[in-house]
Structure 1
Amino acid sequence: MIGIPTDELLFRLRRITEDNMTFVSKKCRHLGENQLHWRRTKDSWNILEVLAHLNSLVNFYHPLILNKIKKTKFTTPSDTFVSSQLGRSAWKSIQLGRANNIKRKFRAQRTHNPTILPELVEKNTIEKFEKNQLELLNILDLAKHVNLKKAKVPISFSRIVRLRLGDVLQFVIYHNERHIQQIKNILENKNFPDKVVG
């Protein structure tokens, strides 16, 4: 499996995270309630539900990643990161296509699905997302000081499976990017309300 310079990988993930934050801050903060709650179909998620889904996954991944970085004995970074076959398969499956298209659709786990658990959507969902992304930037800074290949973290859909930290970071951040693209698609929909009502 071909590797990537660790610095380049972390820089790329940082840039995606910063772009996600900037987009939400510029394009979502000013929206009215009717726009934030608008959905393309009765079964599709609205903007707040997309962000609430991402926020709920933070509760799983961020503590695990921070704990692993803090407690790992593998504190000598490697110049190059090489994904495991399983890790690459995991993050590749959710990564956007070359045209920023969502290649495959997945059903969200019940515990992270805001249509099943509407309480995931909070009044401060947007602010919480921004705060979580700042924390993620801090995680990326801390990750520079450990071996991303040897430190391993479980994943949300299987506690038994442990992936390399570098693969988990890619999975989390490409998953975020995928759902920010989902919000972009909502905003670009021809039926999206262009005026704030109420």
Structure 2
Amino acid sequence: MANTLMRKRPSDDLITELSEMTRHITDVAKTEFDNLSTEQLFWQPDKNSWSIAQCFAHLNAFHRFYVPTFVERIKNSRFQEPADYFQSSPLGHSTYMKVKLGKLKNVKRKLISPKDYNPLVNKNLKIDTVMEDFYKYQDRLLEVMESARKINIRKTKTSFSVRPIVKLRLGDAFQYIVYHAERHIEQARKVKNHPRFPK
């Protein structure tokens, strides 16, 4: 089963699919959250649950790690010849599947956010311009993935944000950050749909 899930696929197709997902995530964010008031953005269902703004602060913290890391890895990769096909490593597949939503856009498993990326714990996470920052990072991520078409995204590896000593194939890291964003967009939508959400 694992071998089927980690099948080879054209590298360009993977980047195209992830780019389309990234654009869709941005469109959903603009449609769902751009017209919210400050009160609505910062409202929490309870003291242990994130607000919509905190969901985006969490995503931006990951973007702040990954986007410049991706740029550096692509620029300095020894594998400047693109490969026709990409295949996930077992580690990469396991990593992005943990954050990927189910077929019904449901969260399949709950995860504990690392302290540095948890807005309830790390009060230094920038939160006043979360939406603007998110859109900028999404645009930059699209540029980064486009530039990655010129290199081998299987042989080029990058650090994993949660444990930098761990190295992921670049294509797997792309999948992780896109699926991770999709996951927290759904979390933010659930906050908005909460019966006590301020009107």
| Partner SS, residue 95 of structure 2 | helix
Q: Per-residue deviation at 1:182?
A: 0.7
The question of 1:109 aligning with 2:111 is answered no
Q: Per-residue deviation at 1:11?
A: 1.4
Q: Structure 2-normalised TM-score?
A: 0.94
Question: Which moves more between the two structures, 81-90 or 178-187?
Answer: 178-187
Query: Quick check: 1:17–1:173 contact (8 Å CA) kept in 2?
Result: yes
1:121 and 1:36 mapped to 2: Cα distance? 14
| Partner SS, residue 166 of structure 2 | strand
Question: Which moves more between the two structures, 45-54 or 57-66?
Answer: 57-66
2:66 and 2:94 mapped to 1: Cα distance? 18
The question of 1:97 aligning with 2:102 is answered yes
Give the aligned length: 194
The question of 1:169 aligning with 2:174 is answered yes
1:33 and 1:43 mapped to 2: Cα distance? 19
Q: CA RMSD in A?
A: 1.1
| Partner SS, residue 105 of structure 1 | coil
| Partner SS, residue 112 of structure 2 | coil
Q: Per-residue deviation at 1:161?
A: 1.2
The question of 1:118 aligning with 2:123 is answered yes
Counterparts of 1:1-198 in structure 2, within 5 Å, are 1=3, 2-194=7-199
Q: Per-residue deviation at 1:118?
A: 2.4
2:67 and 2:58 mapped to 1: Cα distance? 14
| Partner SS, residue 124 of structure 2 | helix
Q: Which runs of 5+ in 2 are unaligned?
A: none
1:184 and 1:11 mapped to 2: Cα distance? 25
* Identical-pair percentage: 35
Q: Structure 1-normalised TM-score?
A: 0.94
2:86 and 2:92 mapped to 1: Cα distance? 12
1:36 and 1:118 mapped to 2: Cα distance? 17
2:20 and 2:45 mapped to 1: Cα distance? 29
Q: Per-residue deviation at 1:33?
A: 1.4
Q: Which runs of 5+ in 1 are unaligned?
A: none
